[in-house]
Amino acid sequence: MEMGERGDGRALTIMAHILLKTGQVRQAQVYLDDQNLKADAEATYLTGLVHYRNGAHQKANQVWKPLLTQRSDNVRFHHIKQEVLKYYFEKAPYLGVN
């Protein structure tokens, strides 16, 4: 959690990843609701996953589609876009959630 002192929200995103992987969707949403993460592409992707895990597939689509139109400025964002496309083509998002 010391990483959070930098103010970039990376620690919050990491915690959300961990919580989603362990099936703690509600707790992950708490971290993703932090205002520092609103412009972060990874947090946006994870927010879509939370919606998807809660059964709101249309809401997840609304969150994910804008990510596909943004320019990939780094490898991490490119990987996120690949995960979103994987959902659209294989219907198998992050963690193979059904």
**pLDDT tens-digit map of 2-49:** 444 555 677 888 888 889 888 898 898 888 887 666 678 888 888 888
The answer to whether residue 33 sits within a structural domain is yes
Total domains present in the chain: 1
98 is a domain residue: no
Please answer whether residues 32 and 47 qualify as being in contact, where contact means their C-beta atoms are separated by less than 8 angstroms.
yes
HSE-up (13 A, CA, CB side) for residue 50? 22
Written as six digits, the tokens of 83 are 């995960």
* Domain membership of residue 12 as a residue range: 2-93
For residue range 48-71, list pLDDT tens digits in order. Answer: 888 988 888 899 889 888 888 888
SS3 68: helix
Report yes or no on 28 lying in a domain. yes
Does some domain include residue 58? yes
- What is the identity of the amino acid at 65? K
| pTM (2 d.p.) | 0.76
